[in-house]
Every structure is written in structure tokens, then in C-alpha cells.
């Protein structure tokens, strides 16, 4: 599908605050909004229905692998829907820069053999962190995972308040229920360090959006704790990330992916939600012309100080020793307790990454808020169109309800 869609007929005044935009009230705008709502509602209800159908499989250990397989299918379908909604209603592209130096020496890009599309080639096991400007951040990061073919394995820690969003709130509320089951799955993954199954665990260390309400609270806390505060970000909270990395620390190929993401059109002294909301992007059709990313990768065992006694933790263990240690950690929660010295060291390390992130954002804004976030000899750049690799990928999400319809039809015939 071409990026020349319905939204081309609407104003794409992304640099104007939402409150000052001229609202489109014509027939075409109403038709566009209705089509977007229906597409979202139908696909999300179908996917949620299929998840509900899979839920009984999670109750018994023998069928639990089938449950996780089914949920992976629905998450892949959900990711495809997110890409389609961008392609059809909110066209954009991703400008991605990445650092080729460091512990990750693999090629970052590969060509999909079926479609010929350029894709990101990332480590299989990732804990992903990002700054948080707008509610659409998680949407675009899920789309980014589609470009790395890990959208079926994503697990996102979202704000509980998202349950009140129309349609999307139902999905986030449902995924909150699935989170309790997924937490067990993550523990199981940690208990099998030899397992080659991908892992894509996403969280936002800031805990919430940068806004006119949260920024003063963050600066006040920084003053109280005598800590320097970023100019464009909130202070990151380290406990959730620290515990997650510690729980997964025996995975020999685990990487921490630090993402900095930005949107054009937001002035230095303003906040993202004044310019981009889920409604303004997808219903009103005022999407960012591009989403700008910078990615850094850290080998968790070698480059991240999850323990105060050094970053190179347990790297000399054999796989059998790792399996034994991982199993012990999954059974004994006290092994995941974070000491005060560990907390100080990791918290300092994370704040330093946020300071670097803040400097990159500041430099980007001073360059006019355009182009790549980072430049340099060790920086590579790629621009990826946000579109499906094949239109046939939509068959899964929009026919996901078919098994439920067949089951209902069969039961109806039996009862008649």
C-alpha cells in the first residue's frame, strides 16, 4: 500500500500544538476517523477473543507451552496491526542510527529473503529501555520490533492508567492480566539459559511521560537527593530494570538495548503530548513525518554493573553451571535481592546513560530537531519505511477470530 493514503488530504501540521490546530470536520475527515476506529476495533477484538480462547491452556503445566505459542501468535498479529495502522492512517518513517563499536560485532542490517525489505538484525535476547515522551512511544517501539522480526516476543511494562484509553485501554488492560502469566514465562526463560527463543522485554525507566506535571516532581526529587537533573528527561528509576537484568543475568547472550527516540516539531520548552497523542496521530491524521531513533547495545554480563563487585559477572561459568545457578535464582527470590551497594553502583551507571541521552537530545534540538540524533565515525544510519513486508500479513490479524466463529458454529449445531 502506498503512503499516499486518506491522511494525505488532511493537514499534517505536526509542529502546531494540538490545541491550536484547525479541526477537520468535513465528510472525508469523518469517514477517515470512522474507518480508523472500525479497523482498530475489529482487529483488537478479534485478537483479544483469540487470547481469551487460549487462556485455559495456561492453567495446566502440560498445555502451558501451547498457551505461550498462542500468545506469541496474537502478539505478532497485534504488531502487524500496529504497522498497518501507521501505513494506512498515519504514514511515517523511522530514521535509525546505531553505534558499530562495542561488544556487539554482528551486522545490524539484513534483507528479508521473501520481500526483499531491509530489516534490523538485533540480538535475540533483549531488555529494551527508552525515554518516554508520548503515549505512542510503545506503539512505535512495537513497530520497530516488527522491523527486527521480534514483534511476537515483545513484553511491555505499561502504565496501569492506560486502561482508560478507548479501545487501546482494553488491550492494555488485557495485557496487564497476561503480564502475570508472562512474568512466569520470563522466569522460565531465565531458568533455561541454553534456550534459543527470542526475548524482547521493554520498559521505560522514567516510569511516566515527561510532562508539565511530572517534570517539576522529578526536579524536586533530584534537588532533595542532591542529584543533577536532565534538561529534557526525567530521572530514571533503576529498581525495576535492575531486578529484571538480575533475574535474566544467566542468559549468556542477553543485551541491554538503550533507545533514544524523538519526534520532529516539538520545541525545546514544550512537551510531546501537546503535539502528538494517539488520537491526533491516528484519528486526526497528523502523524510525525519521521520517528528518530538512536540505539546503543550493552552486553549485560560484560558491560552492565548489575552487581557492585564488577560488570564481568559469572562470565567464566559453563552452560551447565549457568543452568544450575539460573534454576536456583528462579526458586530462591532472596538471590535476586539488591544490596545497597549494588543499587548505588547500578543507579549511578543508569543516570550516566541518561546524562548522555540528554546531551544527544540537546544537540539534536540545537541542530533544528532534524536529521539523525547522533553522528560520527562509529555511527551508521538507515531510514526504514513503516509498512508491511507483504499485504498478506494482514490475513492473520483480521481472520484471528475465525477459530472462535468456527467453535461457536459447531457448538450451536450440537445444541440444536
pTM of the model: 0.85
User: Highest mean pLDDT range out of 2-16, 362-376, 395-409?
Assistant: 362-376
- Domain that residue 150 falls in: 6-415
Beta strands in 273-410 (DSSP E): 291-299, 379-385
* pLDDT (mean) for 356-371: 96
* pLDDT (mean) for 344-372: 96
Total tally of structural domains belonging to the chain: 1
Strand partners, 99: 379
Minimum mean pLDDT range among 53-57, 167-171, 235-239, 243-247: 167-171
Q: Is residue 1, in this structure, part of any structural domain at all?
A: no
Note the pLDDT of residue 53.
87
* pLDDT (mean) for 183-189: 54
pLDDT band at 87 (very low <50, low <70, confident <90, very high): very high
Region of 290 (left: φ > 0; alpha: ψ -120 to 50; beta: rest) is: beta
Note the pLDDT of residue 317.
46
* pLDDT (mean) for 89-102: 92
**Rounded to 5°, angle at Cα 358 from 292 and 375:** 50
Backbone angles phi, psi at 261, to 5 degrees: -125, 140
**Alpha-carbon gap, residue 275 to 257, rounded angstroms:** 27
Give the chain's length: 416
Given a cut of 80, whether residue 313 has pLDDT beyond it is no
Given a cut of 80, whether residue 174 has pLDDT beyond it is no
Note the pLDDT of residue 248.
84
Given a cut of 90, whether residue 372 has pLDDT beyond it is yes
Note the pLDDT of residue 54.
87
**Alpha-carbon gap, residue 144 to 136, rounded angstroms:** 12
* pLDDT (mean) for 389-410: 65
Share of residues in the chain with pLDDT > 90 (%): 50
pLDDT in tens, 202-241: 999 999 999 999 999 999 999 999 999 999 999 999 988 9
Note the pLDDT of residue 216.
97
Given a cut of 50, whether residue 6 has pLDDT beyond it is no
Q: Is residue 105, in this structure, part of any structural domain at all?
A: yes
Q: What is the CA radius of gyration of the chain?
A: 22
Amino acid at each position: 500500500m502506498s503512503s499516499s493514503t486518506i491522511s494525505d488530504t488532511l493537514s499534517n501540521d505536526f509542529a502546531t500544538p494540538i490545541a491550536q490546530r484547525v479541526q477537520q470536520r468535513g465528510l472525508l475527515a469523518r469517514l477517515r476517523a470512522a474507518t480508523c476506529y472500525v479497523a482498530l476495533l475489529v482487529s483488537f477484538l478479534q485478537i483479544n477473543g483469540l487470547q481469551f480462547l487460549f487462556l485455559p491452556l495456561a492453567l495446566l503445566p502440560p498445555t502451558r507451552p501451547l498457551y505461550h505459542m498462542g500468545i506469541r501468535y496474537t502478539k505478532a498479529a497485534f504488531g502487524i496491526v500496529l504497522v498497518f495502522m501507521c501505513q494506512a492512517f498515519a504514514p511515517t518513517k523511522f530514521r535509525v542510527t546505531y553505534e558499530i563499536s562495542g561488544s556487539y560485532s554482528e551486522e545490524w542490517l539484513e534483507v528479508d529473503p521473501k520481500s526483499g525489505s531491509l530489516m534490523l538484525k538485533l540480538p535475540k535476547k533483549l531488555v529494551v529501555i527508552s525515554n518516554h515522551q508520548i503515549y505512542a512511544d510503545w506503539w512505535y517501539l512495537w513497530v520497530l520490533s516488527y522491523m527486527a522480526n521480534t514483534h511476537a516476543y515483545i513484553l511491555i511494562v505499561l502504565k496501569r492508567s492506560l486502561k482508560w484509553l478507548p479501545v487501546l485501554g482494553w488491550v492494555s488492560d488485557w495485557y496487564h492480566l497476561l503480564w502475570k502469566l508472562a512474568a512466569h514465562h520470563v522466569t522460565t526463560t531465565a531458568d533455561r539459559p541454553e534456550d534459543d527463543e527470542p526475548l524482547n522485554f521493554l520498559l521505560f525507566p522514567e516510569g511516566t511521560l515527561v510532562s508539565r506535571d511530572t517534570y517539576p516532581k522529578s526536579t524536586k526529587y533530584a534537588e532533595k537527593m542532591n542529584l543533577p537533573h536532565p534538561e529534557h528527561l526525567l530521572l530514571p528509576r533503576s529498581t525495576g530494570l535492575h531486578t529484571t537484568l538480575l533475574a535474566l543475568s544467566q542468559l549468556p547472550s542477553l543485551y541491554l538495548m538503550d533507545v533514544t527516540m524523538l519526534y520532529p516539531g516539538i520545541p525545546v520548552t514544550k512537551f510531546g503530548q501537546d503535539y502528538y497523542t494517539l488520537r491526533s496521530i491516528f484519528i486526526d491524521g497528523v502523524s510525525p513525518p519521521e520517528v528518530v531513533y538512536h540505539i546503543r547495545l550493552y552486553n549485560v554480563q560484560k558491560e552492565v554493573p548489575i552487581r557492585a563487585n564488577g560488570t564481568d559477572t559469572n562470565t567464566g561459568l559453563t552452560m551447565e553451571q549457568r543452568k544450575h545457578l539460573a534454576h536456583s535464582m528462579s526458586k530462591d527470590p532472596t538471590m535476586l535481592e539488591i544490596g545497597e551497594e549494588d543499587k548505588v553502583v547500578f543507579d549511578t551507571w543508569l543516570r550516566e546513560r541518561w546524562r548522555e541521552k540528554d546531551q544527544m537530545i540537546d544537540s539534536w534540538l540545537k541542530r533544528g530537531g532534524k536529521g539523525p540524533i547522533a553522528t560520527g565515525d562509529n555511527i551508521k544510519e538507515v531510514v526504514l519505511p513503516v509498512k508491511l513486508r507483504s499485504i498478506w500479513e494482514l490475513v492473520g490479524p483480521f481472520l484471528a477470530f475465525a477459530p472462535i466463529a468456527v467453535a461457536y458454529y459447531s457448538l450451536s449445531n450440537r445444541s440444536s
